[in-house]
């Protein structure tokens, strides 16, 4: 007997900006991601608001879900998906973010997608904002730094809630909202890059702007959750954070305290606000020491209390260590975060340290702290795949990675964690968020698309496709 719930939400995750393509079709406006060039593990991608002739902007075509949704959903159904995590592209609905009325053609596209999912009994899990802030809002308000964006977001949510009230039950307000606590979050999450053009690692950092922008996201999230709870009682509203688990590098109390501070700042702060409905007191010291003053309007604290989430979701790829000694060797990469190398762990080709047991530890920590249902909505191995001449892809490394993480997830459930589901990232190959590459693949389904923009977009089942199908069929018993 499987220890997982009978209605466990097995599935896969995607985001419109990395998957949909059709960036200027049927009235869609440009989003921040449409203006990012490709890069690599060693060369940062660039943000260029002015189009450069001859430069590749990988999100613009991506892997073209827009024109392949029927075929892709049929593949998901063939694997037995119960749940399909996707995002709605804000600029398909409100092209600049500032219109008063939604774009009907954009709404129809998602009607079609949800109807297709329903045909196979697959539950959509919709991220409302996943690195797709309208470029119009960057120009007008410097992204989320402008308080005006709260109203634009609320208008967007009201439109999609009303339209899809009978088609979507599970919603996540912001993807990886805690990316705004890090300099890299300024671009994709907060859009506080007005006037900037260049490599994404050269975006000037301004903590005051970032944390003010984050405050506006908190208020926006709480407002729409309150609306959802009052008007659509059938909805389940969740948050989504990166969980980049950190261990003290040694048992030296200095390392332990450094690790605690980083865990709070990076992993706990945003979800404490989402789940508990107030700023945690530990942030006061950080704000004071960094000359950050959060400007709040009357009523903000009340709305945070009134708009708390029903469930908590997170992405989990890796872990790293924290050391108070600046000479400790650094890890070679990570999901938006730095940290030290863990001598007990191996890393992916992109330097992300692979740590399945860290997932069990994390699930336990989260459940102890919040006591609400949890869901792993991203996990996976970005790897180079080799397409064989016969169209097969032998990705045993991916199966190993996922198998080990699912095993630990099951251990966590045995430990008492209430886990709703699991949607590994990029179940079909999509553009990488950090590097803009196609070569960094996560999928069970291979898409014929390459870093020079070539490829016929054909879909092929990798070995992991057949493996995951059995995992779902057996509710996690057959790994």
- Only one of the segments 76-84, 150-158, 245-253, 433-441 lies at the binding site for ligand BG6 (rule: CB under 6 A); that segment is 433-441
- Only one of the segments 31-39, 112-120, 265-273, 425-433 lies at the binding site for ligand BG6 (rule: CB under 6 A); that segment is 425-433
Closest CA to 472 of 422, 426, 417: 422
Q: Which is nearer to ligand BG6, 94 or 131 (CB)?
A: 131
Q: Which two tokens stand for residue 147?
A: 């308080």
Closest distance of CB 87 from ligand BG6, Å: 9
Name the burial class of residue 179, with classes exposed (0-12), middle (13-18) and buried (19+) by CB atoms within 10 angstroms of its CB.
Answer: buried
- DSSP element (H, E) containing 201: none
What are φ and ψ of residue 39, in 5° steps? -145, -155
**Total interface residues for ligand BG6 by CB under 6 A:** 15
- Only one of the segments 27-35, 59-67, 71-79, 432-440 lies at the binding site for ligand BG6 (rule: CB under 6 A); that segment is 432-440
Q: Which two tokens stand for residue 83?
A: 């749940």
Q: Which is nearer to ligand BG6, 411 or 451 (CB)?
A: 451
73 touches 12 (CB < 8 A): no
- Only one of the segments 102-110, 248-256, 428-436, 469-477 lies at the binding site for ligand BG6 (rule: CB under 6 A); that segment is 428-436
34 touches 60 (CB < 8 A): yes
Closest distance of CB 216 from ligand BG6, Å: 20
- What are the residues whose beta carbons fall under 8 Å from the beta carbon of 10, sequence distance 6 or more? 80, 81, 82, 83, 421, 422, 423, 471, 472, 475, 476
Cα distances from 204 to residues 133, 195, 211, 356, 433, in angstroms, run 19, 11, 14, 35, 20
Closest distance of CB 2 from ligand BG6, Å: 28
Interaction between residue 19 and ligand BG6 (CB under 6 A): no
322 is catalytic: no
Q: Which two tokens stand for residue 450?
A: 């390459």
Question: Between residue 84 and residue 143, which ones bind ligand BG6 under the rule CB under 6 A?
Answer: 131
Rounded to whole angstroms, the Cα distance separating 274 from 221 reads: 8
Rounded to whole angstroms, the Cα distance separating 419 from 298 reads: 37
What are φ and ψ of residue 344, in 5° steps? -90, -5
Interaction between residue 20 and ligand BG6 (CB under 6 A): no
262 is catalytic: no
The stretches of 144-289 forming alpha helices (DSSP H) are 148-164, 185, 207-231, 253-262, 269-276, 282-289
Identified catalytic residue from 123, 378, 411, 437 = 378
Interaction between residue 75 and ligand BG6 (CB under 6 A): no
Interaction between residue 429 and ligand BG6 (CB under 6 A): no
Binds ligand BG6 (CB under 6 A): choice among 432, 449, 461, 476: 432
x/- binding map, residues 335-374, to ligand BG6, per CB under 6 A?
A: x---------------------------------------
Closest distance of CB 335 from ligand BG6, Å: 5
Tell me which residues are annotated as active site. 176, 378
Which residues bind to ligand BG6, rule: CB under 6 A? 15, 18, 131, 175-176, 242, 315, 335, 378, 382, 425, 432-434, 440
């Amino acid at each position: 007997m499987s220890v997982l719930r009978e209605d466990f939400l097995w599935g896969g995750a995607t985001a419109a900006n990395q998957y949909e393509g059709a960036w200027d079709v049927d009235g869609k406006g440009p989003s921040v991601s449409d203006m990012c060039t490709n890069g690599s593990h060693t060369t940062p991608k660039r943000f260029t608001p002015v189009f450069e002739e001859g430069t590749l902007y990988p999100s613009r075509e991506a892997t073209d879900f827009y024109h392949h949704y029927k075929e892709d959903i049929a593949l998901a159904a063939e694997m037995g998906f119960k749940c399909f995590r996707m995002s709605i592209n804000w600029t398909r609905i409100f092209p600049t973010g500032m219109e008063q009325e939604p774009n009907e053609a954009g709404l129809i596209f998602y009607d079609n997608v949800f109807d297709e999912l329903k045909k196979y009994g697959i539950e959509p899990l919709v991220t409302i904002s996943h690195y797709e802030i309208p470029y119009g809002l960057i120009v007008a308000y410097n992204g989320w730094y402008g308080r005006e964006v709260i109203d634009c977001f609320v208008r967007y949510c009201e439109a999609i809630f009303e339209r899809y009230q009978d088609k979507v039950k599970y919603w996540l307000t912001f993807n990886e909202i805690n990316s705004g606590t890090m300099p890299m979050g300024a671009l994709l999450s907060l859009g506080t890059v007005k006037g900037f053009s260049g490599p994404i690692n050269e975006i000037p950092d301004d903590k005051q702007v970032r944390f003010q922008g984050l405050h506006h996201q908190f208020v926006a999230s709480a407002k729409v959750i309150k609306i959802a709870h009052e008007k659509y009682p059938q909805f389940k509203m969740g948050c989504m954070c990166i969980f980049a688990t950190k261990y003290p590098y040694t048992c030296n109390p200095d390392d332990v305290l450094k690790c605690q501070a980083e865990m709070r700042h990076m992993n706990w702060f945003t979800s404490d606000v989402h789940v508990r409905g107030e700023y945690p007191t530990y942030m006061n010291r950080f704000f004071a020491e960094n000359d950050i003053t959060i400007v709040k309007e009357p009523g903000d604290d009340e709305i945070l209390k009134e708009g708390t989430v029903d469930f908590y979701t997170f992405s989990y790829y890796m872990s790293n260590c924290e050391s108070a000694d600046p000479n400790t060797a650094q890890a070679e990469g990570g999901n938006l975060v730095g940290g030290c190398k863990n001598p007990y762990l191996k890393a992916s080709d992109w330097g992300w340290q692979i740590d399945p047991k860290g997932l069990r530890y994390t699930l336990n920590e989260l459940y102890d702290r919040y006591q609400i249902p949890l869901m792993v909505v991203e996990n996976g191995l970005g790897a180079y795949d080799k397409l064989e001449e016969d169209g097969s892809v032998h990705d045993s490394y991916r199966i190993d990675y996922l198998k080990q993480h699912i095993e630990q997830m099951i251990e966590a459930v045995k430990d008492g964690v209430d886990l709703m589901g699991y949607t590994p990232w990029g179940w079909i190959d999509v553009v990488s968020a950090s590097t803009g590459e196609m070569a960094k693949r996560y999928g069970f389904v291979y898409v014929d698309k390459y870093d020079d923009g070539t490829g016929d977009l054909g879909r092929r089942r990798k070995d992991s496709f057949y493996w995951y199908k059995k995992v779902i069929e057996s509710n996690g018993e057959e790994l």
